[in-house]
Structure 1
Amino acid sequence: MVSDGSSGSNAEYSDDVDRSVDVSTANTMRDRAGESRFKIWVLLAANRLHVTAVLALGVFVSFVLLVEVVPPSLLPQLDAQDTIETMFSTMISAIITGVTLVVTIGQLVISQENGPLGDQRERMENSMDFRDYAEELIGTPSPADPSTFLRDLVNVAEERAEAVRDGLSGIDSEQLQWEVDEFTDSVVGNSETVRDQLDGATFGTFDVLFAALNYNYGWKIYQVERLAHDHAEDLGEPEEDLLHDLKTALSLFGPAREHVKTLYFQWALISLSQMILYVAVPALVVAGVMLTVVEAATFPGTTFGVEHMTVLVGAAFTLTLTPFLLFTSYVLRIVTVAKRTLAIEPLILRDSQR
C-alpha cells in the first residue's frame, strides 16, 4: 500500500475515466498543509522545554550582539547604574503581573472541572453514552487509553472503507470504480500512518493529539457524501448502507478527537501554570540581585572583545524572561492546534487542502 494517498490498485481503466476528480489526500498534516517540516516540528512536535531553551539562547545572543555591535555603541548606556535599575525593576513588575495572569488562566481551566453534583452526573452520563455508542461501533468495550481508543476508531473506518470497495466492485461504472479505489487507498494509507503514530503514544505528551491531527476525517466524510450523491443512479440500497456505515465511523472520530484535544489543552495549561511558578521564583531572585547588588563596574574587563557586564546583564535579562518564553512556546502550540481544528464538521478552511 502506498503511503502518499495515491492509488495502489492494479486495476486498469479506460481513457474515459475522469482522473481529475480530487479524491485522495496526503497522509500527514504537514503534507496537506504544504508547509516545511521544520515549521511544523517547531510549532507542534518539538518538546516545549527545548523550544523555550532555544528562544532563551536566541534572546541572549541577540542581546549581546546588539549591545556590542549596533552603532552608536550601547555600552555607555548599559554601564549606567540607572539603566540596570530601570531594566530590572521593570522586569520584576512584569514577572509578577505575568505569573498572576497565567495562574488565573490555570484556575479558569480547573474551574471547568468543578460544579454541583447534578452537572457532574450529566457530564458522566454524556461520556458514558458516547462510550456505549463507540462500543457498538467497535464491537468491543471502548478502551480506556486515549491512543488505543482513537486507534480502534481508525481501524473501524479502514475496515468499512475496504468493505465499501468490495461491496461496490460489482457495479458497472469505471468512473465509480476508479474513485472508490482512489478513496479507499487514501483511507487505508492515512489509517496506517496514524495507527503507527498512535502505537505506544502516551497521553500527557503531544504524540496522541499530533497523530489525531494527521487523520483528516472531514475530507473523508465529504468524499463519502459526494460519492453517494454523484453516483446515486449506480448505487442500490446495500451500497448506500455501506457508505452510510463508513460515514458513521468517520463521524465518530470527530468528537473523539475534539475530546482528546480539550483534555490535552487543559493538561497543557495546568502544566504551564506549574512550570511558570517554578521558574518565576528564580527569575525574581535574579532580578532582585541585579537591582540591589550589581553595579555598573561590578564585572570589569572583556573576553574575546565582549564586555563582561554585557554578558552578565544579557544572561540576567534572559533568565528573567524565561517565564514569558515558556508561555510563548506553549501558546504557540495551543493556538496552532486550535487554528487547525476550528471546524469539527467537513469544512476545509485552509486553501492548501481545498
Structure 2
Amino acid sequence: MSGDLEVASSEDDAADADDADSDASTADTMRERAGESRVKLWLLLRANRLLVAGVLTLAIFVAFVAVAVAFSPSLAEKVGSSDPIETLFASMITVIVTGATLVVTIGQVVLTQENGPLGDQQERMNDTLTVRDAIAELTGTPVPTDPAAFLDAILGAASRRARDLRESVHERRGDEPDETALWEDVDELATGVVENADTVRGQLDGAEFGSFDVVFAALNFDYGPKIGRAERILDDHGEALIDDEQDLLEELKGSLSLFGPAREHVKTLYFQWVLIDLSRQILYAAVPALVVAGLMLAVVDAGTFPGRTLGVDHVTLVVGGAFAVTLLPFSLFVSYVLRVLTLAKRTLAIGPLVLRDSGPE
C-alpha cells in the first residue's frame, strides 16, 4: 500500500513537472507570443512614429469636418452669430504653451539622470566595466561597443554553448530510458536556443541604434523560458551529466542570464533617446501650431473663406485643418508613448518569468 502511494506521488510530481514545463513553453518571437494582430503590433511598434502622428492628425481633421457637417446650423452660421473660433483657438494656444513647457520638464528629468558628481559617474563606469568583463570572459573576445553587436556577442556565446552541449550528450547517448529523456530534453533546449539566436542575430545584423530595429530584434529572443528549461534539465538529469556537460549547461544558463540585463540596458538607453527626440519634435511642432492658432484668432471670421465645396463650407475645412495642426504636438506625443508603453509592457519581467495577458490590451 505504501509503495503504491509512493508510485502515485511520483507520478503526480512528474505530471506537475510536465505541466510546469508546458506552462513555461512559449513561442520565441514577440509577434507569436503577443497573440495580437499583425496590423495592431505594426501600428504600436514598427510603424514610423511620424507616420503614425500624421495619420492621427488626418483622422482628427476628417472627424472634425464630419461632425461639423452633420450638425445644423452650419459652422459658418455659428461663426456669423457668435465667435467659436476665438474661443477654440485661444484655448489651443494655452494648451500648446502648457504642453511645450511640460515636454521641456520631461527632457530635463531625462538629462538629470545623466548628471551627477564625479564619484557617481565613476561608480557607473566601474559597474559597466564589470559586466563587460563578465561578457568578455564568457565570449572569449573583447566586447563590442555597438549595441547590436553587443547583443549579438551574447547570443553567439549562448548558441555555441547549446551546440557543444548537444554534441557532447549525443556522442555518449545510450538506449537507457533516462539517457533517452536526457537527450530529448537537451536537444529541445539546444534547438530552441540555436534557432532563436540565429534568427535574432540575423535581425541585429546591420541594425543601427536610435532606430527601433535593435530593440525590436532583442524582443524576439525569449530567454526566460530557456533559463527555466536549463534549470529543469540540471535538476532532472544532473547525475546523468558529466562534469564538462554540467559546466556547459551552467555556461549556457549564464549566457542566457546575461542577455536579460543587456537587453534592459539597451532598452533603457533607447527610452532616453526617444524621450529626447520626442521633446525636440514636440517643440518643433509647437511653433507652427502656435502660428496657426494665432492666425485663426487674428484673421479668420465668417467672411474670410466664403463658399462651399461638395456641400462643405470652406470655413469648416479651414477651421478643421487648423485644429488638426494645432493638435500635432499631441499627436506626436501619443504616437511615441504608444510604442514606449507597449515595449515596457512586453518587457516587464526580467528573468525566467513568463507573463501572459488575460485579455486584450
Counterpart in the other structure of 1:191: 197
Q: Which whole-Å deviations, capped at 9, do the CAs of 1:90-138 have from their partners, x for residues lacking one?
A: 1111111111111100110001111111111111111111111111111
Q: Is the 8 A contact 1:286 1:320 kept in 2?
A: yes
Work out the CA distance in 1 between the residues paired with 2:258 and 2:73. 62
Work out the CA distance in 1 between the residues paired with 2:124 and 2:82. 58
Counterpart in the other structure of 2:125: 124
**What is the correspondence of 1:267-286 to structure 2 with a 5 Å cutoff?**
267-286=273-292
Opposite residue 57 of structure 1, the aligned amino acid is L
Counterpart in the other structure of 1:11: none
Opposite residue 208 of structure 2, the aligned amino acid is T
Structure of larger gyration radius:
2
Counterpart in the other structure of 2:227: 221
> 3-state SS of the aligned residue for 1:85?
helix
Work out the CA distance in 2 between the residues paired with 1:217 and 1:19. 19
Q: Is the 8 A contact 2:21 2:229 kept in 1?
A: no
Shift of 1:20: 11
Q: Which whole-Å deviations, capped at 9, do the CAs of 1:284-332 have from their partners, x for residues lacking one?
A: 0100111121112210111122211111001000000000000111111
Counterpart in the other structure of 1:150: 151
Q: Count residues in correspondence.
A: 334
Counterpart in the other structure of 2:141: 140
Counterpart in the other structure of 1:96: 97
Work out the CA distance in 2 between the residues paired with 1:162 and 1:24. 20
Work out the CA distance in 2 between the residues paired with 1:20 and 1:116. 48
Work out the CA distance in 1 between the residues paired with 2:52 and 2:80. 31
Counterpart in the other structure of 2:161: 160
Counterpart in the other structure of 1:347: 353
Does the alignment pair 1:329 with 2:335? yes
> 3-state SS of the aligned residue for 1:244?
helix
Opposite residue 131 of structure 2, the aligned amino acid is F
Q: Which whole-Å deviations, capped at 9, do the CAs of 1:142-177 have from their partners, x for residues lacking one?
A: 101110111111111111111221222234422222
Q: Is the 8 A contact 2:45 2:342 kept in 1?
A: yes
Counterpart in the other structure of 1:311: 317
Work out the CA distance in 1 between the residues paired with 2:120 and 2:169. 46
Work out the CA distance in 2 between the residues paired with 1:74 and 1:176. 77
Work out the CA distance in 2 between the residues paired with 1:283 and 1:259. 36
Work out the CA distance in 2 between the residues paired with 1:62 and 1:103. 30
Work out the CA distance in 1 between the residues paired with 2:334 and 2:122. 36
Backbone CA RMSD of aligned residues: 1.9
Work out the CA distance in 2 between the residues paired with 1:189 and 1:238. 23
Counterpart in the other structure of 2:301: 295
Counterpart in the other structure of 1:207: 213
Cα distance 1:55–1:96, how it changes in 2: closer, same or farther (>3 A)?
same
Shift of 1:78: 5.5
Structure 2 stretches of 5 or more lacking a match? Answer: 1-17
Work out the CA distance in 2 between the residues paired with 1:131 and 1:20. 34
Opposite residue 142 of structure 1, the aligned amino acid is V
Counterpart in the other structure of 1:34: 35
Opposite residue 235 of structure 2, the aligned amino acid is H
Q: Is the 8 A contact 1:29 1:213 kept in 2?
A: yes
Normalised to the residue count of structure 1, the TM-score between the two structures is: 0.89
Does the alignment pair 1:259 with 2:286? no
Shift of 1:339: 1.1
Shift of 1:65: 1.2
Counterpart in the other structure of 1:114: 115
Shift of 1:81: 4.3
Q: Which whole-Å deviations, capped at 9, do the CAs of 1:42-61 have from their partners, x for residues lacking one?
A: 11111111111111111111
Work out the CA distance in 2 between the residues paired with 1:166 and 1:46. 42
Work out the CA distance in 2 between the residues paired with 1:145 and 1:25. 29
Work out the CA distance in 2 between the residues paired with 1:194 and 1:80. 63
**What is the correspondence of 1:44-83 to structure 2 with a 5 Å cutoff?**
44-69=45-70, 71-72=71-72, 75=75, 76-77=77-78, 80-83=81-84
Work out the CA distance in 2 between the residues paired with 1:80 and 1:184. 75
Q: Is the 8 A contact 1:79 1:309 kept in 2?
A: no
Normalised to the residue count of structure 2, the TM-score between the two structures is: 0.88
Shift of 1:229: 1.6
Q: Is the 8 A contact 1:64 1:311 kept in 2?
A: yes
Work out the CA distance in 2 between the residues paired with 1:180 and 1:58. 52
Does the alignment pair 1:243 with 2:249? yes
**What is the correspondence of 1:14-29 to structure 2 with a 5 Å cutoff?**
22=22, 25-29=26-30
Work out the CA distance in 1 between the residues paired with 2:290 and 2:186. 62
Cα distance 1:261–1:164, how it changes in 2: closer, same or farther (>3 A)?
same
Counterpart in the other structure of 2:14: none
Work out the CA distance in 2 between the residues paired with 1:73 and 1:180. 74
Shift of 1:24: 5.6
